Amino acid sequence: MNKNNIAFYPYLIGHTENAYVSNMIDIWKSKYKVIPYEKEGLNIKDFKNCKAIVLNWFEDRLDLKSWVLLLFYRLSRIKIIWVFHNNKSHINDDSWIMTVKMIGMTLVSSDIILHSNHSKKYLSEINPYVMKKTKFVPHINYCANYIDTQKDYRQSLGFKNNDIVFMFFGFLKAYKNVELLIQAFKEIASQNIKLLIVGEASDNSYAKNIRKLCNGNPNIILHTKYVNYVDVYTYFNTCDVLVLPYYKNLSLNSGAMIAAFSCGKPVIIPDIAMAKDMSKFCFIYSYENEKAHKVALKREIKNVCKLGRKKCHILGRKAQKFVQIKNSREVVSKEIDILMS
C-alpha cells in the first residue's frame, strides 16, 4: 500500500501566526498530503495512509498515553520525526518530568531533525545513544514571508540619522530575557543609541511589567503588539541590529535570528547552537550567570556602537545572502527528500 499522508504537529489553522510552521507545512504539502496530528492520535483511515508523523515542540505535551501511542505507530512502520528545537522546555525547564519527556522523545523517534550542527552536543547530553538518528536540515529562511517595503519608522519615531537602533523582535515571554536587555540598556550612558522592543506580550500583566521597567526612558520605545507579516520588514529596516538576550541553557535555535538575516540585519546573541553555526554574522557572547550575562551583553552593545551603522549594514547583507542560499526552500526540501528516502 502506497502511504501518502504526513501527520504534522502543530498544524495551526491557517498557519499564519507562525512563519516556521507555515513554511514547513508548505514544503511537506508539495510532496505529501499533510494532516493534523493531535495528542489523541490518528483515526483508522489516517493511520492506514500515514507515512510519517512530524513533531515540533511535542515534548511539552507528551504523557505516557501519547508516548505509548507514538511507540505503537513506530512499531507499525510509521516514521516518527522529532524536530529538536530546544534542549529544555520553555514551559517547565528544570522539572525532572520534562527531562524524562525529552528522553522519551529521543527513544520513540525514528529520526531527529537538527536545525544546527552544534545541537548534537546538547542532544547527546540527553541521550548519547541516539546520534545515528539525527539529520541536519537547515532552518528555513523567511525571505518569501517578509517582503522589503523600502520603508522604515525611523523618522516617525524621532530617530536621528546617526542613532544606532537596537531592536528586540518576537513574542514577549519571560524566557526571552527582555527585562535583562532593558536593564543593560539603561546602564549604557549614550544619547545616540535607541532600543526598540517589538512584539506581542504573553499577557497584559507581563506587558505592564515591561512598561514599568522602561520607566519612561526616552531611548527605549515599546511596541507591544502583534506585528503582521507586511510590517515585519519595515521594523527591520528601522533597526541596525537585532538583540536576542536568550537564556542559553534553554535555547538551541532562533527563528528571530533567521528572520533578522532574511531581512538583512546582524544579531547580538549568546552562544546558543544556531548562533555558533552562523557566528560570522553574529555578535556572540558567553556568560556564566545572570550578572555576567548583563556585563557581556553591555559589552557587545558597546562594540556595535564602535563598529557603526555602515558596517552593521554590510554584515547584515552578507547574512541575508547566506540564508538566501543555504537556508532556502530548495535546500530544505532536498534534505527532507533524503530523510524520507
In DSSP notation, 32-66 reads: SEEEE--TT---HHHHHHEEEEEEESGGGT--HHH
Contact 41, 69 (CB under 8 A): yes
Q: Is 149's pLDDT higher than 70?
A: yes
Q: What is the pLDDT of residue 14?
A: 56
Within the chain, where are the H helices?
Answer: 19-29, 44-49, 64-75, 96-108, 119-126, 178-186, 204-214, 229-238, 255-262, 273-277, 290-307, 309-326, 329-340
Rg (CA), the chain: 21
Mean pLDDT (the chain, rounded): 93
% of the chain at pLDDT higher than 90: 81
The separation between CA 316 and the C-alpha centre of its own chain, rounded to angstroms, equals 18
Range with the poorest average pLDDT among 5-19, 133-147, 297-311: 5-19
166-189 pLDDT tens trace: 999 998 988 889 999 999 999 997
Bridge pairing between strands 33-36 and 79-83:
unpaired
> Residue 248: what are its φ and ψ, rounded to 5°?
-70, -15
* Angle (deg, nearest 10), helices 64-75 and 96-108: 10
Q: What is the pLDDT of residue 16?
A: 56
Q: What is the pLDDT of residue 266?
A: 98
Q: CA-based angle 59:62:63, to the nearest 5?
A: 150
The separation between CA 229 and the C-alpha centre of its own chain, rounded to angstroms, equals 16
Cβ-based neighbour number of residue 184 at 10 Å? 22
Contact 198, 235 (CB under 8 A): yes
Burial of 158 from C-beta contacts in 10 A (0-12 / 13-18 / 19+): exposed
% of the chain at pLDDT higher than 70: 97
184-235 pLDDT tens trace: 999 997 879 999 999 998 888 888 999 999 987 899 999 998 898 899 999 9
Q: What distances in angstroms separate CA 20 from CA 48, 85, 329, one per listed residue?
A: 28, 12, 11
* Spatial distance between the Cα atoms of 263 and 271, rounded to a whole number of angstroms: 21
Range with the poorest average pLDDT among 50-59, 137-146, 155-164, 243-252: 243-252
Range with the poorest average pLDDT among 47-56, 97-106, 200-209, 230-239: 200-209
Contact 215, 237 (CB under 8 A): no
The residue behind cell 515591561 is 210
Q: What is the pLDDT of residue 320?
A: 98
What domains lie within the chain, and their CATH numbers? Answer: 5-136 (3.40.50.2000), 164-325 (3.40.50.2000)
Between 88 and 284, the more confident residue is 284
Q: What is the pLDDT of residue 191?
A: 78
Q: Is 276's pLDDT higher than 80?
A: yes
* Spatial distance between the Cα atoms of 290 and 15, rounded to a whole number of angstroms: 35
Q: Is 111 helix (H, G, I), strand (E, B) or coil?
A: strand
Q: What is the pLDDT of residue 8?
A: 97
* Spatial distance between the Cα atoms of 126 and 123, rounded to a whole number of angstroms: 5
Residues in the chain: 341
Q: What is the pLDDT of residue 97?
A: 86
Q: Is 7 helix (H, G, I), strand (E, B) or coil?
A: strand
77-96 pLDDT tens trace: 999 999 999 987 766 655 78
Q: Average pLDDT of 58-84?
A: 96
Contact 314, 266 (CB under 8 A): no
Q: What is the pLDDT of residue 43?
A: 94
Q: What is the pLDDT of residue 13?
A: 59
Three cell numbers, residue 84 = 529538536
DSSP string of 195-213, one letter each residue: EEEES-BSSHHHHHHHHHH
Q: What is the pLDDT of residue 92?
A: 61
Three cell numbers, residue 120 = 548534537
230-274 pLDDT tens trace: 999 999 999 999 999 998 888 899 999 999 999 999 999 999 999
* Spatial distance between the Cα atoms of 82 and 134, rounded to a whole number of angstroms: 10
Q: What is the pLDDT of residue 249?
A: 82
